Amino acid sequence: RIAERAALVDAPATPGALADGTAVPLLANLGSSKAAQAAADGGAEGVGLFRTEFLFLDAGGSAPTIEEQRAHYVELLEAFPGKKVVVRLLDAGADKPLAFLNDAHEENPALGLRGLRALRVSEDILREQLTALAEADKRTSADLWVMAPMVSTVEETEYIVGLSKELGLKTAGIMVEVPSIALMADKVFETADFASIGTNDLTQYTLAADRLLGSVASFQDPWHPAVLRLVGEVGASGARASKPVGICGEAAADPLLAVVLVGLGATTLSMSPSALADVRASLARYTLDEARRLAETALAASGAAEARAAVTAALESLK
């Protein structure tokens, strides 16, 4: 029995897929290159969100050099030969402040100079990060994609995709974390190679509830149909443009919501590695047609609790 169990642990996880065989690659959210190999060994089919804030926080009072960054990116990419690895450009500000990039005196930091907005003001740091990534890409065989956080306009999309390509990156996209850019998704896909929806911030901005504030925590629920309608908007635009739409917020780690998100048009899901197995098992139970019907059920609800309850009830009728 112990040997049987050991064999199960060693067996490579099957790729994420729906019951009808539709592939839904399951990717890892990572914050450190040190965790990359374990994620690959644990069945992640690639990386859907590599958060680079920690690299910059660990460097002390200034940005890490191009060489320092490159070493981390190479370690990350080497754990995923031939696989997709999506690196997010530095997302400083609000819940992740960095002294050398952010103004500590903003009254509303979540609505301030954060994410791509802050990088643009310190364009030398942005250019160095893109350069380090392009150099790491040349040294490894992983399929490196870069994306910008906290994009709120089409102009910002054009700017970051243009700069990324100018500096040698092949695939560049944006995170959809702000309602304005979700609503402009059709225009986004005229420039961006892909989009990845950050449901944590998208929920915060859609419900206008600070994600760090306990007193409004009940609003921070990605099951809210307002959030799901925005996800559906991006999913539909991505499908029309034949471009990938990932999900990299916490919502992707909820086994039932993951099915709904695929029904809304998500083509990949990224989550902390510990959530992969449960989401993989859940997706395997439903066809794409069923996922779409569950998504319709969620969209028709008037609030988060009702959406969750309606989808749970609808599962009974699928049996």
| Residue span 196-215 as binding mask against Mg ion, x where in contact by CB under 5 A, dash where not | --x--x--------------
Active-site residue 129, yes or no? no
**Region of residue 38 (left: phi > 0; alpha: psi -120 to 50; beta: else):** alpha
Smallest separation, CB 91 to ligand PEP (Å)? 6
DSSP character for 93? B
Comparison of 167 and 192: residue with beta carbon closer to ligand PEP: 192
Say how far apart CA 174 and CA 177 lie, in whole Å: 9
Footprint (CB under 5 A) of Mg ion, residues 173-192? 177
Say how far apart CA 278 and CA 224 lie, in whole Å: 22
* Beta carbons of 185 and 237 less than 8 angstroms apart: yes
Of 94, 98, 167, 248, which is the active-site residue?
248
Residue 243 has, within 13 A of its CA and on its CB side, a CA count of: 20
Comparison of 95 and 158: residue with beta carbon closer to Mg ion: 95
Residue 48 DSSP SS3: strand
| Residue span 232-271 as binding mask against ligand PEP, x where in contact by CB under 6 A, dash where not | ----------------xx----------------------
Smallest separation, CB 201 to ligand PEP (Å)? 3
Show the tokens assigned to 175: 């995170």
How many other C-beta atoms lie within 10 A of the C-beta of residue 198? Answer: 27
Comparison of 167 and 202: residue with beta carbon closer to ligand PEP: 202
Pairing between β-strand 268-271 and β-strand 245-247 as defined by DSSP bridges: parallel
Report if residue 53 touches Mg ion, rule: CB under 5 A. Answer: no
Residue 266 DSSP SS3: coil
State the catalytic residues: 248
Binding residues for Mg(2+): 177, 201
Interface ranges with ligand PEP (CB under 6 A): 49, 51, 91, 177, 198-201, 248-249
Contacts to Mg ion by CB under 5 A: 177, 198, 201
